Structure 1
Amino acid sequence: MKITPIEQQPMLIKMNQLQQLSQYKNDIALPLQSFQASDVKFGQVFKSALDTVNDDGVKAANKITDIETGVSNDLVGAMIASQKASISFSALVQVRNKVIGALDEVLKMPV
């Protein structure tokens, strides 16, 4: 399978965004240029992540259904969409586990 330049562009943009998020200065993550610290709310970010994971799952399910019903013969695209949905779900579960662990630690703190 060869990735065409059209498919590479969104992937490169996403990789650059992730690289910017992973850069640290003095052990503090650099803020995104498009957001102020007061503009970002955890609930909004988490809901956005949930919506993205859900969309990935729906797209994968639709592609698999298209393969099964004979509407499409893009088996590779369906498998990639399925793996993308699986990876994004796994990442979301890991984030949720970290948040729950942090909340447990906060609740265990003496007042």
Structure 2
Amino acid sequence: MSNMSIDQVLAQMRVLRDQASGPAAEAGNGVDFSALLKQSVDQVNEVQQQAGKLAESFEAGQTDASLAEVMVSLQKANVSFQGMVQVRNKLVDAYKDVMNMSI
């Protein structure tokens, strides 16, 4: 069976929630939007890199991680990437709306 418990998963979800709400609170204090966007993209990239490395090491039998941990990390990477794509789509839509405004 898996050595991951529900408490560990919930704790990770709470940490991610707190991390996600952190930059939003700082945005009101004059944080540069481009820096915030770059930081978010870098975090998504880091999550994907870590998940890929964990999956490769699991396939090679070089880690003690369970299959459930590998799958959870891959799903986290997928969800974070999909969220980033949705944000990009909204930004593109907003840009199109601004460009179509009459002066």
- TM-score normalised to structure 1 length: 0.74
Alpha carbons of structure 1 residues 36 and 48: separation in structure 2 relative to 1, 3 Å: closer
Q: 1:55 to 1:67 in 2, by over 3 A?
A: same
- How big is the shift at 1:76? 1.1
2:14 aligned partner: 12
What is the distance in 1 between the residues matched to 2:36 and 2:16? 17
Please name the residue that 2:86 is paired with. Answer: 94
What's the % identity of the aligned pairs? 29
Unaligned stretches of 5+ in structure 2?
none
Which consecutive unaligned segments of at least 5 residues does structure 1 have?
22-30
Larger relative helix fraction = 2
- Most deviating of 63-72 and 36-45: 36-45
* Equivalent of residue 3 in structure 1, options 3, 6, 9: 6
Alignment match of 1:39 (pick from 7, 20, 30): 30
**Whole-angstrom CA distance in 1 between matches of 2:55 and 2:99:** 43
Partner of 2:75: 83
